[in-house]
Amino acid sequence: MIRSYASKLGNSRPIYKLSLNDSKSRINSRLVNKYSPRPDLLDPISTLVCYHFMERLVGDKYIKDYEGIEKAVIMGIKNEFKKFIVCYGGFKNARQSGIHRFLNTYATPPPEVVDGLVYLYRYARLHGMSGGTMIGAFTDTDQKHIDNILAILELMRSKFEPKS
């Protein structure tokens, strides 16, 4: 899913402006028109993908680093949810909770978990969750959304948490 978002974005053109350092011992290079993707502000996933946009030079052209983008986006989403659990999970010790530990389990989660987290993130953002510190992210009227998010996270945990 993240890849399909990223594939719609463009790439930089490999044109560089060169300059000398102060001691004239080295030629430095700067990309002339670095591609900066414009996010669809109404779609939180698009914003996240654009924020973590990465590309690398292969041969004589830039290609998107899909793996890097996906890892960075998922890391960002997991961090948001971890903060969410601390603020709204209602746990005595949120960092020791099952959901928090589940979010820490995978460095690269399986595709089903990735898709689940992405859809859930979109749901959360579209229903009041703001990014950042999470404090005051939800109002009292959003309690049903908070419950939904926690329930889905708990379900994901019970389904995808590796059995030890």
Partner 1 sequence: MGVFDDKRYDQLDWVSQAVQPIETPLAALLDRLPESTKIDFELITCNHPNGELDRETIISSMIRKFHPGYSMSWKEKDLINECFEFDIRSPELIVNLENRTLTGEVYLVKTKFSIEEDKLKSVLGEHGREEIGKLHSHRMDHTRTNEMLDLLEDCEVAIASRSGKTKKLALNDRLRQIFTNNEWKIKSTDLADKIGFWIKAYIDNGDLAALSNISRLKVMTYKEAPIYSIEETT
Among 82, 77, 72, CA closest to 44? 77
The region of 16-24, 34-42, 44-52, 93-101 touching partner 1 under the rule CB under 8 A is 16-24
Q: Given the complex with partner 1, which of 26 and 163 has the nearer CB atom?
A: 26
Minimum gap (Å) between residue 33 Cβ and partner 1 = 11
* Distance from C-alpha of 154 to C-alpha of 164, rounded to nearest angstrom: 18
Number of residues binding to partner 1, judged by CB under 8 A: 21
Window 19 to 78, contacts with partner 1 (CB under 8 A): 19-20, 23-29, 31-32, 57, 59-61
Q: Given the complex with partner 1, which of 29 and 93 has the nearer CB atom?
A: 29
Q: Given the complex with partner 1, which of 24 and 38 has the nearer CB atom?
A: 24
At a CB cut-off of 8 Å and minimum separation 6, what does 146 contact? 88, 138
Q: Given the complex with partner 1, which of 27 and 126 has the nearer CB atom?
A: 27
The reply on whether position 15 binds partner 1 by CB under 8 A is yes
* Distance from C-alpha of 76 to C-alpha of 2, rounded to nearest angstrom: 13
The reply on whether position 96 binds partner 1 by CB under 8 A is no
49-58: which pairs have CB atoms within 8 A and are 24 or more residues apart?
49/2, 49/5, 49/6, 49/9, 49/73, 50/9, 51/76, 52/76, 53/6, 53/9, 55/11, 55/12, 57/14
Q: Interface residues with partner 1 (CB under 8 A)? A: 13-20, 23-29, 31-32, 57, 59-61
